[in-house]
Amino acid sequence: MHGDLAPILALLALLWLAAKVGGEVAVRLRLPSVAGELAAGMALGALHRFLPAFPDLGAHPALALLGDLGVVVLMFAVGLESTLPQMLRVGLPSLRVAVVGVVAPMAAGLLGARFLLPPGTPFLVDLFAGACLCATSIGISAQVLKERGAARSEEGRVIVGAAVVDDVLGLLVLTGVSGAVLAAGAGGGMPWGRLARELGFALAFLAAALGLGRFVTPPLFRLANRFRSEQVLLPSALGFAFLLAWLGSLAGLAAIVGAYAAGLILEPAHVQSLQERELRRLEDLVQPLVVALSPLFFVLMGTRVDVAVLAAPRTLAFALVLAGLGTLGKLAAGFAAGRGLRPWVVGWGMVPRGEVGLIFVAAGASLELGGAPLLPPPVQAGIVGALLLTTLAGPLGLDRTLGRP
């Protein structure tokens, strides 16, 4: 037991320290910390490729398990930031921005991949590359809005509302495309019927989970409040989130879809009695787990990106073009907000992909098509490079736009 555990402890220490150092460097450069965590992972991955004696962190099963747990907890926390009533109140401007913000970058990314990737590349690879561009990381834009005193502005509210809907639409797209890949099998064709069924099934699962959950969770947490032991809220909430993630997996969906749905279902009113009893909000209890586990996911994601492949002229050009197309697609969404709103502010607020886009890439990296990985190393490296560029460009563009009269 001791002999098996000791190396894992050393590797975990290395990952956490690398994540913290990378995040600190990024923050000092006025960049999102997730960019630094990803860069730290890329450096560790390059170290293994130049020094084979250095451990291959990205291929370690125990570390991968902790990283996967981190992304499930992260999506649960993202869901907790919004409630179903808030989603229903986002209004038409946010809905329009969200829909255009998913469709436009996905279509642009698909066409860009179609023309830039080698001839004969399966259409599903192009489609997945486009799907990775439809996500939005609201946390990055929210920080810029807060620093500029614009969080409560009309544009700020539209960005936050659109990002909430964007998350749901993005997860539906991810589920549909992943299901289509699994259905394509060895032939690599495009099963449009399966794609439509997967999208409908994912939508039905979310609707059922959100609908039934609103009736099930209040009595469930009232029962938990009758427990006499201390610290009941966090284990109960995590048990609920992991249960929905498991049910989502049984239904053929990604586990993150169920975890996100669990966060949406758990409204403050459902856990109010437990929060008053423990004098802590559920979000505050979950946050330390996110802080501890999610960096593992991003660093490990970085270790799987071959820096030498990314630096290749063809891959680098692919990343730059994909980032440009993804940015233009989100900027177009800003003009769907309507009159009286600054379209450039809304558009730049929707540009960063951050952790959400990386989750999409990780899902694609685990899929196979025709017995080979769906995303070959050059394609995966190019998409990660594009996501990193949009994560850097988004807050810079938003900050500059907010500085204008």
DSSP string for residues in 305-371: S-HHHHHSHHHHHHHHHHHHHHHHHHHHHHTTS-TTS-HHHHHHHT---HHHHHHHHHHHHT-EETT
> First and final CA of the chain: distance in angstroms?
63
pLDDT digit string (tens) for 113-164?
888 888 888 888 888 888 888 888 766 677 677 667 776 677 877 887 787 7
* Contacting residues for 200 by C-beta, under 8 A, at least 6 apart: none
Tell me: pLDDT of 187 over 60.
Answer: no
Tell me: pLDDT of 193 over 60.
Answer: yes
Q: Quote the pLDDT of residue 186.
A: 42
Q: How confident is the model at residue 1 (pLDDT cuts 50, 70, 90)?
A: very low
Q: Where is pLDDT greater, at 176 or 263?
A: 263
Cβ contact 304:58 at 8 Å: yes
Q: Which of 61-75, 102-116, 216-230 has the highest mean pLDDT?
A: 102-116
To the nearest whole number, what is the mean pLDDT of the chain?
81
CATH number for the domain formed by residue range(s) 64-402? 1.20.1530.20
Tell me: pLDDT of 188 over 50.
Answer: no
Q: Quote the pLDDT of residue 29.
A: 84
Burial of 102 (0-12, 13-18, 19+ CB in 10 A): buried
For residues 337-345, give the mean pLDDT. Answer: 83
DSSP tag of 372: E
SS3 281: coil
Tell me: pLDDT of 198 over 80.
Answer: no
What's the pTM?
0.75
Q: Within 10 Å of residue 29's Cβ, how many Cβ atoms?
A: 11
Tell me: pLDDT of 252 over 60.
Answer: yes
Tell me: pLDDT of 213 over 60.
Answer: yes
Cβ contact 97:114 at 8 Å: no
Q: Where is pLDDT greater, at 59 or 324?
A: 324
Query: Helices in 55-137 by DSSP H: which ranges?
Result: 61-80, 84-88, 91-116, 123-131
For residues 70-97, give the mean pLDDT. Answer: 76
Q: Following DSSP, what letter does each residue of 21-53 receive, concatenated? A: HHHHHHHHTTS-HHHHHHHHHHHHHHHHHH-TT
| Cα separation, 367 vs 297, whole angstroms | 17
Q: Where is pLDDT greater, at 149 or 344?
A: 344
Q: How confident is the model at residue 84 (pLDDT cuts 50, 70, 90)?
A: low
- Smallest CA-to-CA distance from 297 within 15, 14, 46, 33 is with 15
pLDDT digit string (tens) for 298-318?
888 888 888 888 888 889 999
Q: How confident is the model at residue 331 (pLDDT cuts 50, 70, 90)?
A: very high
SS3 150: coil
Name which of 41-50, 236-245, 277-286, 349-358 the model is least confident about: 349-358
